[in-house]
């Protein structure tokens, strides 16, 4: 029941009388318009919660109806936030290679050759700022003055909602900064008509995200009091840890000690690693609150989506295979969207149970990108319940597997990297213990444990790939290591060459779409 809470709330938003639509794509300050006035929507705590539900599900669904019907936002492909985000974070890396290059306009993302007119870059950009605009609109209507007529208990509840809206906006701004670097900036304090957002540098956006997450600390609920699907205080700590882990990329200043501090804040909350790695990615993963800190719930009954985890499950199944059975993963059919580049499976040693690949009839190396027989298939994500049953009909209803945004194993590896890079506040022995806990889960015993001398930055980059592949962190990790665009690390089809080649450093970030540059004279792209 708890898993379904915000899916139900997003539908309740419609009955509350609010239909969210978009204006012209270049006018971000006017997103969204509310057809019913705010005075008819923000009239009860239940309605505030319903609108809050909309803020959450806008990361996982693309519209108000099944499979993205009655779309919130007109876009080139119509894909939801998380399907776009997965493509942006994974498809140009050493992990994922995409099959339908021409048909899905994925050539640019796959080969690191996009430009400011790329349709999928544009879709991600506008989806980001649509979500930010939703949060801004909620916050305009959740000020202390606006809620003064409610009882003290109701005001306290709405303050929790307000903090969560600020968290979701901070998360979207973090994604926008990470993907695009220097971006337009608008908050609930800005006018909603005739306002042209200024250009913020990545350092300015970093400072805003940092300050927002610190400011809401007292208003977010602790994990012990927070409903599943809502952001608890520890989710903000995990986002701060990730922010500080990559601070040098965004601001030029390393913040390793701060990363350690916030990793500790998460670890002190009593999380533990889930014993069975595979159960973190099945249809019952909403039960893994021992490890999963914050997740985007996906539920076939309430939020049928052809993106998010439906995409991760069905998209990774070969639809031209005579041997792979989609039912083995709780799916009805495979889509054949993507496979793994050869470098990823090669990182795993014998006995590592995280190496979840389908190999029959598949080659390790990718000699032909648009042929599904080349490349192993990831079977990490499934639509199976703990007892091995399909949770839903993926063809008609999508999957019911949640997407873990933050989990404890990632926090352990962030702490270890920050220690190895010179951060203070944790010892090498503690960091090594964190790494070996992750590896003991992977191997089922201590046979995969390492010693301190092996705990190098290179090892930790590889370990993050082994632990977190297809979880939307790989591009960011490679950029932090200065290996995404350079010749320091080449992988198959990097830069469009079979054996890989370096590309221009501008591909460490995506360009603001040309349509937006035309609409907002404050914006410009460096290098494009």
**Average confidence score pLDDT of the chain:** 93
Residues 508-519, buried b or exposed e (16+ Cβ, 10 A)?
A: bbbbbbebbbeb
Report residue 422: phi and psi, to 5°. Answer: 110, 5
35 has pLDDT over 80: no
Q: How far apart (Å, rounded) are the C-alpha atoms in residues 262 and 87?
A: 28
Q: Please give the average per-residue pLDDT across 300-328, as a whole number.
A: 96
| Residue range 198-222, pLDDT digits in tens | 999 999 999 999 999 999 999 999 9
Residue 39 has a pLDDT of 74
Give tens-digit pLDDT for 363-396.
999 999 999 999 999 999 999 999 999 999 999 9
Query: 38: pLDDT confidence band, cut at 50, 70 and 90?
Result: confident
Neighbours of 176 (CB within 10 A): 24
Q: What is the pLDDT of residue 37?
A: 64
Q: What is the CA radius of gyration of the chain?
A: 22
Residue 469 · residue 442 · CB < 8 Å: no
Q: What does the pLDDT read at residue 445?
A: 98
Q: Any bridge partners for residue 363, and if so which?
A: 374
Q: How many CB atoms lie within 10 A of CB 348?
A: 18
67 pLDDT band, cuts 50/70/90, is confident
Residue-wise over 303-313: b if at least 16 C-beta within 10 A, else e? bbbbbbbbbbb
Q: What confidence score (pLDDT) does residue 36 get?
A: 59
SS3 at position 296: strand
| Half-sphere exposure (Cβ direction) of 423: Cα atoms closer than 13 Å | 30
pLDDT in tens, 275-289: 999 999 999 999 999
Peptide bond into 32 cis (omega under 30): yes
Q: Which residues contact 501 (CB under 8 A, 6 or more apart)?
A: 487, 490, 494, 495
Question: 149-169: per-residue pLDDT in tens?
Answer: 999 999 999 999 999 999 999
What CA–CA distance (Å, rounded) separates 338 from 89? Answer: 14
């Amino acid at each position: 029941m708890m898993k379904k809470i915000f899916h139900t709330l997003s539908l309740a938003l419609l009955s509350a009388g609010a239909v969210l639509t978009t204006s012209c794509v270049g006018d971000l300050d006017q997103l969204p318009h509310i057809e019913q006035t705010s005075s008819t929507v923000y009239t009860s705590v239940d309605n505030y919660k319903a609108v809050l539900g909309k803020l959450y599900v806008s990361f996982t669904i693309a519209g108000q109806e099944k499979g993205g019907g009655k779309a919130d936002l007109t876009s080139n492909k119509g894909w939801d936030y998380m399907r776009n985000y997965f493509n942006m974070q994974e498809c140009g890396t050493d992990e994922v290679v995409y099959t339908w290059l021409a048909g899905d306009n994925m050539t640019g993302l796959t080969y690191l050759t996009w430009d400011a007119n790329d349709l999928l870059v544009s879709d991600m950009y506008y989806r980001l700022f649509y979500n930010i605009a939703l949060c801004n609109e909620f916050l305009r209507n959740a000020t202390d003055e606006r809620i003064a007529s409610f009882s003290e208990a109701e005001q306290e509840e709405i303050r929790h909602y307000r903090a969560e809206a600020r968290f979701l906006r901070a998360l979207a701004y973090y994604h926008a900064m990470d993907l695009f670097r220097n971006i337009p900036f608008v908050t609930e304090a800005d006018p909603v008509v005739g306002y042209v957002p200024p250009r913020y540098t990545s350092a300015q956006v970093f400072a805003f995200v940092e300050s927002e997450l610190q400011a809401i600390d007292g208003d977010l609920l602790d994990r012990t009091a927070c409903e599943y699907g809502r952001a608890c205080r520890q989710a903000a700590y995990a986002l701060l840890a990730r922010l500080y882990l990559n601070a040098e990329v965004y601001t030029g200043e390393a913040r390793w000690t701060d990363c350690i501090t916030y990793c500790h804040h998460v670890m002190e909350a009593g999380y533990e690693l889930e014993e069975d790695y595979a159960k973190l990615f099945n249809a019952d993963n909403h039960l893994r609150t021992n490890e999963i800190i914050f997740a985007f719930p996906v539920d076939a009954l309430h939020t049928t989506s052809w993106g998010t985890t439906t995409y991760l499950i069905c998209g990774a199944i070969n639809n031209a295979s005579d041997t792979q059975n989609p039912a083995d993963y709780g799916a009805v059919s495979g889509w054949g969207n993507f496979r793994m580049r050869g470098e990823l499976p090669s990182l795993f040693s014998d006995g590592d149970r995280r190496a979840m690949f389908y190999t029959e009839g598949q080659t390790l190396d990718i000699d032909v990108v648009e042929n599904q027989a080349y490349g192993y298939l990831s079977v990490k994500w499934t639509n199976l319940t703990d007892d091995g049953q399909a949770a839903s009909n993926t063809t008609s209803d999508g999957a019911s597997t949640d997407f873990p945004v933050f989990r404890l194993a990632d926090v352990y590896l962030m702490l270890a990297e920050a220690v190895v890079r010179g951060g203070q506040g944790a010892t090498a022995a503690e960091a090594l213990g964190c790494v070996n806990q992750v590896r003991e889960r992977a191997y089922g015993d201590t046979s995969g444990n390492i010693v301190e001398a092996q705990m190098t930055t290179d090892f930790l980059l590889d370990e993050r790939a082994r632990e977190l592949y297809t979880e939307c962190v790989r591009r960011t990790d490679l950029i932090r290591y200065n290996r995404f665009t350079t010749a320091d690390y080449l992988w198959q089809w990097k830069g469009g060459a079979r054996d890989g080649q370096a590309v221009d450093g501008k591909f460490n970030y995506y360009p603001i779409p040309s349509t937006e540059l035309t609409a907002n004279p404050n914006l410009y792209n460096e290098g494009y």
